[in-house]
Amino acid sequence: MKKNMGIADRIIRIVIAAIIAVLYFTGTVTGTLGIVLIVLASVFVLTSLVSFCPLYTICGIRTCSVTR
Handedness of CA 56, 57, 59, 61 (dihedral sign): positive
Instruction: Report pLDDT digits (tens) over 4-24.
Output: 999 999 999 999 999 999 999
Q: Looking at residue 67, what is its pLDDT?
A: 60
Mean pLDDT of the chain, nearest integer: 93
Where does the pLDDT of residue 68 fall: very low under 50, low under 70, confident under 90, or very high at 90 and above? low
CA pair distance 4, 15, nearest whole angstrom: 19
How is the chain split into domains, by residue range? 7-59
